[in-house]
């Protein structure tokens, strides 16, 4: 006989014979909100009080068990009951509870499962404790229960990096007791497990497996390095290690205390902002939402580094890929790059032989433009030159079938000028992948003047299918990312003219959290790339505009960056000198004198402030011009594509932490310093940028 009792709108329970089924029902991801926690407590009380019930199965309705706590609660005082109280009630109840996991058991969801007496999961379930990626540590026993099941080194890796693993991987390390192939088998398997447990199996009462001290230290060092030494990573390691040294009750209390401190620290607010911004970025404006076009076969034109990276990303997403080149030698080089990629993945056991074979079987190569007729999507990835791309698109237009989507992987060129050489500009858009294309998560989806809504919708859906964060951008020079990076680079060059040296600017920016400084990046990518772009734009540049010629002079003297052994820095055997040399300093001093500037030292704090203000001002201009759809999209682009430190949230988030009147004054100073032709973003645009709160509206 089945009885149904609804304890809460978010948690339902029903008796299946002697087993109580408790279901979390808080769509879309069953986040562990206050209502869920309250409902779970009531369900556990029912289990305890009803003598006819012998055990319980805890599972999630819909698509997940529980994919984490409700992040919107974390910036304010947490409502009672809190998750540790729920888990304590499960452990205190003398009747066993089995967690039946599917979809995702992340963060508080996994901590809840760890509080149960056994765990059964569908094979593809994702499990993990990703709190460090949000500026926190697990706060409901994750650091104490996990090492008792999987051992200390593996627990430190999972807690300290936020790693997600599948249920099969979890079973192999002892985190999951049984794995089933489908959701259809999950409930029955969990009921059988609950019926035969015979008593409690509290994880907190288990001993922590012994560990080799050298292995432990090596794991801690590697995890801290991977986490860039951020406070939450060190705290996660320390809390997990308490499982070896502290009584469990004391360790649980200390874990919770650290969690409460970190969840309201600056890193956590910034990381939550970025978390919500990424999820908001994939949503198109309502006017652009449309049914998707068919998308299964993609032709990639160009077998260079970018084309091969795009092809790999498509293959990994299960798409059929045709790699098209204009000559056999280029095609052979591209094919070898692809083969080498899969050989490397296999050697490092990042992919199974079956997966590699399946993906490679979806790839064809060709020199025949007739293959374009098979494509649902064509992605051009040739040399970044407008005339070259226009010639390619004329060929695409002649061979591609009606209704195919035609995309240019351009970094900054005019998508409308490319679309204009075709008879179907409504099918054309930009897809700006970032290098390496199969690794970098950002994808700028560039809307041309005539791009159809269903083309944009299909492109955004493709980005999600590829595991990327697609961001819609208008068609303007450099789109969002390169437009802001250009403002960043320009401001850094102004700083050179005014008194800073390249190594001082680079040190200030890496000190802020950038992976590399702007001048080290320029040397790595090659100064000639920017030099050619400047030469192409020279005719349109008003001679009265402030222009820093240092990079031009470096290139004219043969200093093209790392590939020539010298750029802003000198390089020997791949290593750069500690600072700029006499030749570079002489060129910089020459530029200062030519500008009539008296050089003066510039503090690192001032360098960072000026660079950030330049980024924020350009962001306000992009919003005002309609190039960026949302202010938070700009933060996503800078973090995902340009190495802006995630724990600072992005330049827009940084701006929102500043006093508004002071920020407006800094922008006035910025525009005045730039001189002739500089356009000031309107005060209203800046106010709009500062008022955006994506976390609050999520």
358-379: average pLDDT: 96
Between 70 and 171, whose confidence is greater?
A: 171
The pair phi, psi for residue 40, each rounded to 5°, is -65, -40
520-531: average pLDDT: 90
576 pLDDT exceeds 90?
Answer: no
Q: What angle do CA 410, 300, 474 make, to 5 degrees?
A: 30
What per-residue confidence (pLDDT) applies to 78?
87
Nearest to 569 by CA among 551, 581, 587: 581
696 pLDDT exceeds 80?
Answer: no
497 catalytic? Reply is no
**SS3 at position 32:** strand
Other Cβ atoms closer than 10 A to 353: 9
What per-residue confidence (pLDDT) applies to 698?
47
What per-residue confidence (pLDDT) applies to 38?
96
pTM: 0.90
What per-residue confidence (pLDDT) applies to 7?
53
- Encoded tokens for 330: 């280029």
| Residue 692 pLDDT level (bands cut at 50, 70, 90) | low
Q: What does the pLDDT look like over 23-77, one tens digit per residue?
A: 999 999 999 999 999 999 999 999 999 999 999 999 999 999 999 888 888 878 8
User: How far lies 288's CA from each of 76, 429, 453, 623, in Å?
Assistant: 35, 14, 5, 18
Active-site hit among 23, 38, 91, 131: 131
User: How far lies 626's CA from each of 401, 447, 476, 494, 629, in Å?
Assistant: 32, 11, 10, 27, 6
Q: What does the pLDDT look like over 232-262, one tens digit per residue?
A: 999 999 999 999 999 999 999 999 999 999 9
693 pLDDT exceeds 70?
Answer: no
pLDDT, the chain, mean: 94
224 pLDDT exceeds 80?
Answer: yes
363-385: average pLDDT: 96
373-384: average pLDDT: 96
What per-residue confidence (pLDDT) applies to 433?
97
131 catalytic? Reply is yes
What per-residue confidence (pLDDT) applies to 539?
84
Active-site hit among 38, 91, 111, 618: 111
Q: How far apart, in whole angstroms, are the C-alpha atoms of residue 376 and residue 499?
A: 54
355-375: average pLDDT: 96
597 pLDDT exceeds 80?
Answer: yes
CA atoms within 13 A on the CB side of 163: 16
Q: How far apart, in whole angstroms, are the C-alpha atoms of residue 40 and residue 11?
A: 7
- Domains parsed from the chain with CATH numbers: 2-264 (3.90.226.10), 292-479 (3.40.50.720), 482-697 (1.10.1040.50)
121-137: average pLDDT: 96
Nearest to 315 by CA among 230, 159, 438, 138: 438
Least trusted range by pLDDT, from 63-72, 353-362, 365-374: 63-72
Least trusted range by pLDDT, from 68-77, 98-107, 467-476, 605-614: 68-77
What per-residue confidence (pLDDT) applies to 694?
64
Whole-number percent of the chain with pLDDT over 90 = 90
Q: What does the pLDDT look like over 278-289, one tens digit per residue?
A: 999 999 999 899
Q: Would you report the helix, strand and coil content of the chain in percent, each value rounded to 5?
A: 55, 15, 30
3-21: average pLDDT: 82
Q: What does the pLDDT look like over 617-639, one tens digit per residue?
A: 999 999 999 999 999 999 999 99
| Residue 537 pLDDT level (bands cut at 50, 70, 90) | confident
444-471: average pLDDT: 97
467-478: average pLDDT: 96
Nearest to 58 by CA among 24, 87, 86: 24
Bridge partners, 57 (sequence order)? 21, 98
User: How far lies 453's CA from each of 397, 422, 515, 630, in Å?
Assistant: 20, 18, 37, 18
What per-residue confidence (pLDDT) applies to 540?
86
CA R_g for the chain = 28
User: How far lies 58's CA from each of 187, 199, 484, 513, in Å?
Assistant: 9, 16, 49, 42
């Amino acid at each position: 006989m089945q009885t149904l009792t609804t304890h809460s709108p978010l948690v339902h329970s029903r008796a299946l014979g002697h087993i109580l089924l408790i279901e979390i029902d808080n769509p879309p991801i069953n986040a562990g909100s206050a209502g869920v926690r309250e409902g779970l407590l009531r369900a556990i009380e029912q289990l305890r009080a009803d003598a006819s019930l012998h055990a319980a199965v805890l599972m999630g309705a819909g698509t997940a068990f529980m994919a984490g706590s409700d992040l919107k609660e974390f910036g304010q005082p947490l409502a009672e009951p809190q998750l540790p109280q729920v888990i304590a009630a499960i452990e205190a109840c003398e009747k066993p509870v089995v967690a039946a996991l599917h979809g995702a058991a992340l963060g508080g969801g996994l901590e809840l499962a760890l509080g149960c007496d056994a765990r059964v999961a569908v094979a593809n379930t994702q499990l993990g404790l990703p709190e460090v990626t949000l500026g926190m540590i697990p706060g409901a026993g994750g650091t104490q229960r996990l090492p008792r099941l999987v051992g200390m080194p593996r627990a430190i890796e999972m807690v300290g990096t936020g790693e997600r693993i599948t249920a099969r991987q979890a079973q192999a390390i002892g985190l999951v007791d049984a794995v089933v192939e489908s959701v259809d088998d999950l409930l029955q398997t969990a009921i059988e497990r609950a019926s035969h447990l015979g008593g409690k199996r509290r994880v907190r009462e288990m001993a922590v497996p012994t560990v080799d001290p050298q292995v432990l230290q090596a794991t801690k060092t590697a995890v801290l390095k991977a986490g860039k030494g951020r406070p939450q990573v060190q705290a996660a390691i320390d809390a997990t290690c308490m499982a070896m040294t502290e009584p469990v009750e004391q360790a649980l209390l200390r874990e919770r205390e650290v969690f409460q401190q970190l969840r309201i620290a600056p890193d956590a607010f910034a990381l939550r902002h970025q978390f919500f911004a990424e999820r908001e970025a994939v949503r198109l404006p309502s006017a652009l939402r449309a049914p998707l076009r068919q998308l299964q076969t993609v032709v990639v034109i160009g077998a260079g580094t970018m084309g091969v990276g795009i092809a790999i990303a498509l293959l990994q997403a299960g798409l059929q890929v045709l790699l098209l080149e204009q000559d056999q030698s280029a095609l052979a080089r591209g094919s070898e790059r692809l083969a080498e990629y899969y050989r490397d993945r296999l050697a490092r056991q990042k992919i199974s032989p079956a997966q590699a074979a399946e993906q490679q079987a979806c790839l064809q190569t060709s020199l025949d433009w007739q293959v374009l007729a098979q494509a649902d999507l064509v992605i051009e990835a040739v040399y970044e030159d407008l005339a070259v791309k226009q010639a390619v698109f004329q060929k695409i237009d002649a061979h591609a079938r009606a209704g195919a989507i035609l995309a240019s992987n351009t970094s900054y060129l005019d998508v409308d000028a490319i679309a204009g050489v075709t008879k179907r500009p409504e099918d054309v858009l930009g897809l700006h992948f970032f290098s390496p294309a199969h690794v970098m998560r950002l994808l700028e989806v560039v809307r041309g003047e005539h791009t159809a809504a269903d083309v944009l919708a299909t492109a955004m859906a493709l980005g999600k299918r590829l595991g990327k964060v697609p961001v819609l951008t208008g068609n303007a020079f450099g789109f969002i990312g390169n437009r802001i990076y250009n403002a960043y680079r320009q401001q850094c060059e102004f700083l050179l003219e005014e008194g800073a040296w390249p190594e001082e600017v680079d040190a200030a920016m890496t000190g802020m959290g950038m992976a590399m400084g702007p001048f080290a990046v320029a040397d790595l990518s090659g100064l000639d790339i920017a030099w050619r772009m400047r030469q192409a734009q020279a005719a349109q540049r008003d001679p009265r505009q402030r222009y820093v010629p240092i990079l031009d002079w470096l290139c004219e003297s043969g200093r093209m960056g790392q590939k020539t052994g010298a750029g802003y820095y000198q390089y020997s055997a791949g290593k750069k000198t500690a600072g700029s040399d006499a030749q570079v300093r002489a060129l910089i001093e020459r530029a200062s004198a030519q500008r009539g500037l008296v050089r003066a030292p510039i503090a690192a704090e001032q360098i960072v402030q000026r660079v950030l203000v330049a980024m924020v001002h350009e962001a306000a201009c992009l919003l005002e011009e309609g190039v960026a759809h949302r202010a938070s999209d700009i933060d996503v682009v800078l973090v995902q594509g340009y190495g802006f430190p995630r724990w600072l949230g992005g330049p827009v988030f940084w701006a929102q932490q500043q006093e508004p009147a002071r920020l407006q004054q800094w922008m006035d100073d910025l525009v005045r310093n730039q001189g002739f032709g500089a356009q000031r973003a309107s005060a209203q645009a800046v106010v709009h940028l500062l008022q955006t709160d994506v976390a609050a509206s999520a």
